[in-house]
Amino acid sequence: MQLLPAPHEVLQAIAALWGRTGRGSDGAEVYVRVGRSLTIDLDPASGLLQENLGGGSHATVRVWTTQGFGRAEGWWSQVEELEELLAAARASASPGGVPPVQEGYEAIGGDGPPAGALSAERARARALQWARELEPLGTRIQALLVQQSLGWCGLFHSSGFTAHDWMAREQALVRCETPEGALVDGVAAPRLEGALDPSRATTRLSTALEALRGERSALDPSLPLVLRPPVAGPLVSGLAWALRGDVAAAAPALTRAVGKKIFPSVLSVRDDPRHPEGTVLRAMDDEGRKAASVTSIESGRLLGFFHSHASAARLGAVSNGRAVRADGGEPSPGNFNFHIVPGSASMPADRTELTCRVETFTTMRQPGVVSLLAAGWEYRGGARHRHVGPLELELPVLATFRQLQGVGPDLSFLPTSDGCGTPTLILSPPIWLGDSASK
Amino acid sequence: MASERLESFFLEHRLLTEASHSGGTLRLTRAEREVGCSVESSTGAGAHHVWYPLSPRAPAPDALPAEAKSALRRLRAPEEMTAPLLEPLRELTLALEATVRQAGGTSLEALVHDSQQRVICGPPDAWAEGERRHCILELRVSVGTDKQRPSQLWRPFWFPEPGALVAAQARLRTACEEMTRSLQAWPALAPCPEGDLPVVFPPGAASGSFFHEVCGHPLEGDVVARRGSYLALRLGERVAEEFVTVTDDPTEGNSSLHYAFDDEGQPARGTALVERGVVGQPMLSRATARILGQETNGHGRRVSFRHYPLPRMTHTGVAAGPHGTLEQLLAPVGRGLLVQHLVPRHMNLLSGDFSFFILEAREIRDGSLGPLIGPGVLSGNGLQALRDIEAVGGDRRNLFATRGCRKLDHGPLAVSFTQPSVRFRQLRITPAR
């Protein structure tokens, strides 16, 4: 396959582009994403593989002119095509749009590419290793995927500001069918070297399968509710959504609560782009702003939200380097390793402990409310007393976190929950769970 | 590239355009043009796909046969596919909003989605070429602001292209009036009932997603190959009455998603998933056909050139039956629900247990339609539900799914449904919180 351009090559090309075309009356920005990805899809029963490899260079050009804001995007392989995108963006300009501000932005781009490369041989070996590790579970594997990606994104502004960031990732995902529903689990790491150990996923799946077998029974809402990471994951992902700047802007009560203690002291929330256990590793966001660790909730006090430039402007704040461009779209607030800070809570002797989440089509059909299908055990005096569930839970995100009484030490980052990390969460009774009856 | 020989290639030029009307104006919200290709070779262990985005000046990949490179030149010409003109669409949506307001409604939201695709694909010695296009209009009518009122109704409409959409203004204005008056006729939502009740699906309704989930996904070739569903374990067994036939037919072409060849260049064939009550055939791609020792039946589909083909549905639903019209199916129902719109909540492929969110439904009382009800959940088991189909009307109509179908990390993929009136003896209904 053709080699993909390196950041310095693109920088030179775009500098030449500004020289030829002029920098525009107010400004222009070229956002480039260059990379390749590899997917191995293994059918364990037959041993047959589907391999899918590909990639290229994609650019999104935005301009701010006297006519307004214009935008164009597309794949490119030659500088002339970037020039054509720039011309198309200028031609499309119409009133509106907020120019970005790079003043005070720290130029980023000293790091070279990460170690490692895409390797079909390694990905195949991983897939076969995972299939072997999963076999003792005795479930029907519906899908087993190993995915690798390597690339970089860069921002080149007509003011001369430039920034780029390399990204690597490898993940394995598995979907198992059981008579009680599908279980999905996986492991991801922001690197292409080192082990992608299946043991955490197989342990979680084994625990989940154990919770699904047995007589169904209802939950006792008078007991504390313990959510193990696979069950807590969507709830934490829901909290990450609620703390996005664009979402918070539509919730005046929440924006007025900044600075106030609105959650229990056991809750601290952080977003750390360089967390050693995280699923991503970022130096900058997709607007070129340095991505440092951000604490949104500290000991129950709401400190702020996660912002892109536009969402920050709406709330009179400053971007904190959390702009994400999904599929080359407009930047919007996102997260890099959002997680609940682990604690040291001890487990209540009497409790309902949910260890298994059955896959559903969506976990947030209604904004701000997480829907789950989960199962586990009721404990009495510290010993397992009976199976619970599978049962359906409807958890209003913010209200549920206000009932947090403890946070465990077992932080896990879950690619199946938008990469969010969570330890075990302990919720105090009485708990409004929606439908607490057995399914 | 661990290639043995070129098995197949896929070339695609795709243009997706979306425009949204709200607050009295229509704005372009999406305009994406992509050209790309994927080349498949066989290895000892399976299939190897390599995909390339093709920028305007990018050369054709060397792996393509010479004839395909020549075809690629004309496929990627941008003048062959142009975005729809916004102004006629803007005039149309303004006219429809005026209709809603004149009828006493509060507002209209509209979404226009135009999908154009030119494809060349198949084995190097027998590839096929074609165009696929569909244009969907979604209308959401609002009446009143009182939280107790059934404030909104949603309906999708399919057209072969935007010109036909604009030309259908009279029909769409009538539809808007009917939607507005339907909301006005019932000043409050009735509480969603609870229990095991008779349920009727009207023709061409978004409750068609039921058969897509309960019969379609369980009979996709990869699921069947892994014996991963309750229907995969019952091939050739009777699961419903003789008058129940469920198909996936990419060739029908009557206001539905359709193609003559799939994304592997294989001739598309209608497949009976349940034929006269008996579990029939799975939907196959080349890879899954190979695993099952069968010939492909043209259900290998891709979300884009960046995705490898999987066995996927296209146009799924129930064949027309012998039991007449919707009114005839409603007549014997003393108390039940007419379910217009479902979205899937949970589907257990191995057991067949399912649940759907009910987004729109009306009471049935003594054979007549009553008020709209509040949100609920429809649940049950696939085997039991198929056995409980007690009547199928002859009034089949087609419907495009507006949000597409997702599978693994591929998606969404355009699909459509076909459905006559269908009556179930009973399904479980639960009010949603």
- Residue pLDDT, tens place only, B228-250: 999 999 999 999 999 999 999 99
CB contacts, 8 Å: B291 with chain A:
43, 46, 48
B229 touches chain A (CB under 8 A): yes
pLDDT in tens, B186-203: 877 899 999 999 999 999
Please give the residue that has the higher pLDDT: either A83 or A3.
Answer: A83
Please give the residue that has the higher pLDDT: either A97 or B322.
Answer: B322
Question: What's residue B79's pLDDT?
Answer: 75
- Sequence-ordered alpha helix ranges (H) in B230-339: 286-292, 326-330
CB contact under 8 A, A46 and B291: yes
CA dihedral B190, B195, B201, B206 (to 10 degrees): 70
Summary mean pLDDT of chain B: 93
pLDDT in tens, A198-235: 999 999 999 999 999 878 788 898 999 999 999 999 99
Give the mean model confidence (pLDDT) for residues B303-308: 96
Distance from CA of A397 to the nearest CA of B (A): 15
Alpha-carbon distance A348 to A367, whole Å? 31
B81 in Cβ contact with B131 (< 8 Å): no
CB contacts, 8 Å: B229 with chain A:
177
CB contact under 8 A, B56 and A81: yes
Question: What's residue B198's pLDDT?
Answer: 98
Question: What's residue B322's pLDDT?
Answer: 98
Question: Around A439, how many Cα atoms within 13 Å sit in the side-chain half-sphere?
Answer: 27
A379 pLDDT higher than 60: yes
Question: What's residue A24's pLDDT?
Answer: 59
B279 pLDDT higher than 60: yes
Summary mean pLDDT of chain A: 91
B18 touches chain A (CB under 8 A): no
Burial of B37 (0-12, 13-18, 19+ CB in 10 A): buried
Alpha-carbon distance A347 to A410, whole Å? 12
Partner residue facing B57 (CB), from A78, A143, A182: A78
- Residue of chain A whose alpha carbon sits nearest to that of B36: A75
CB contact under 8 A, A394 and B433: yes
Give the mean model confidence (pLDDT) for residues B80-103: 93
B170 touches chain A (CB under 8 A): no
Question: What's residue B3's pLDDT?
Answer: 47
A437 pLDDT higher than 50: no
Question: What's residue A439's pLDDT?
Answer: 36
Confidence category of residue A435, pLDDT binned at 50, 70, 90? very low
Partner residue facing A51 (CB), from B48, B55, B348: B48
CB contacts, 8 Å: B226 with chain A:
43, 45, 140-142
CB contact under 8 A, A49 and B45: yes
Confidence category of residue A110, pLDDT binned at 50, 70, 90? low
Partner residue facing A179 (CB), from B52, B222, B351: B351
CB contacts, 8 Å: B33 with chain A:
74
- Residue of chain B whose alpha carbon sits nearest to that of A362: B345
Interface contacts A/B by beta carbons within 8 Å: 135
- Residue of chain B whose alpha carbon sits nearest to that of A128: B45
Question: What's residue A438's pLDDT?
Answer: 35
CB contact under 8 A, B350 and A178: yes
Q: How many CB atoms lie within 10 A of CB B375?
A: 15
- Residue keyed to tokens 């102004």: B87
Alpha-carbon distance A173 to B204, whole Å? 37
Confidence category of residue A25, pLDDT binned at 50, 70, 90? low
B177 touches chain A (CB under 8 A): no
Give the mean model confidence (pLDDT) for residues A98-115: 69
pLDDT in tens, A267-317: 999 999 999 999 999 999 999 999 999 999 999 999 999 999 999 999 999
CB contacts, 8 Å: B345 with chain A:
360-362, 365, 371
pLDDT in tens, B385-413: 999 999 999 999 999 998 899 998 887 99
Mutate which of A361, A365, A433 to disrupt the B interface (most B C-beta within 10 Å)?
A: A361
Mutate which of A1, A52, A86, A180 to disrupt the B interface (most B C-beta within 10 Å)?
A: A52
- By mean pLDDT, which of A99-113, A131-145, B114-128 is the weakest? A99-113
Q: Which of B320, B304, B234, B222 minimizes the C-alpha distance to B273?
A: B234
Question: What's residue A167's pLDDT?
Answer: 94
CB contact under 8 A, B46 and A177: no
Please give the residue that has the higher pLDDT: either A7 or B383.
Answer: B383
Question: What's residue A436's pLDDT?
Answer: 37
Mutate which of B11, B18, B55, B219 to disrupt the A interface (most A C-beta within 10 Å)?
A: B55
CA dihedral B163, B169, B170, B173 (to 10 degrees): 150
CB contact under 8 A, B58 and A75: yes
B30 pLDDT higher than 70: yes
Q: How many CB atoms lie within 10 A of CB B412?
A: 13
B151 pLDDT higher than 80: yes
- Written as six digits, the tokens of A18 are 């500004």
Please give the residue that has the higher pLDDT: either A1 or B151.
Answer: B151
Alpha-carbon distance A71 to A85, whole Å? 8
A374 pLDDT higher than 60: yes
- Sequence-ordered alpha helix ranges (H) in B44-85: 66-75
Element (H, E) at B167: helix B162-167
B149 pLDDT higher than 60: no
Q: Which of A380, A67, A92, A425 minimizes the C-alpha distance to A269?
A: A425
- Residue of chain A whose alpha carbon sits nearest to that of B306: A54
pLDDT in tens, B95-108: 999 999 999 999 99
CB contacts, 8 Å: A120 with chain B:
2
Element (H, E) at A145: strand A140-157
Q: How far is CA B319 from the centre of its chain?
A: 16
CB contact under 8 A, A361 and B346: yes
- Assign 3-class secondary structure to A164-211: EEEEEEEEEEEEEEECCEEEEEEEEECCCCCCCCCHHHHHHHHHHHHH
Distance from CA of B308 to the nearest CA of A (A): 7
Give the mean model confidence (pLDDT) for residues A374-397: 93
Question: What's residue A100's pLDDT?
Answer: 66
B395 in Cβ contact with B420 (< 8 Å): yes
CB contact under 8 A, A140 and B49: no
pLDDT in tens, B161-185: 999 999 999 999 999 999 999 999 8
- In the stretch 316-355 of chain B, residues with CB closer than 8 A to chain A read 343-351, 353
B378 in Cβ contact with B358 (< 8 Å): yes
Cα-Cα-Cα-Cα dihedral sign, residues A199, A205, A209, A210: positive
CB contact under 8 A, B52 and A434: no
Could you report the predicted ipTM of this complex, rounded to two decimals? 0.93
Distance from CA of B328 to the nearest CA of A (A): 34
Give the mean model confidence (pLDDT) for residues B338-356: 95
- Written as six digits, the tokens of B195 are 């229990």
Question: What's residue B255's pLDDT?
Answer: 81
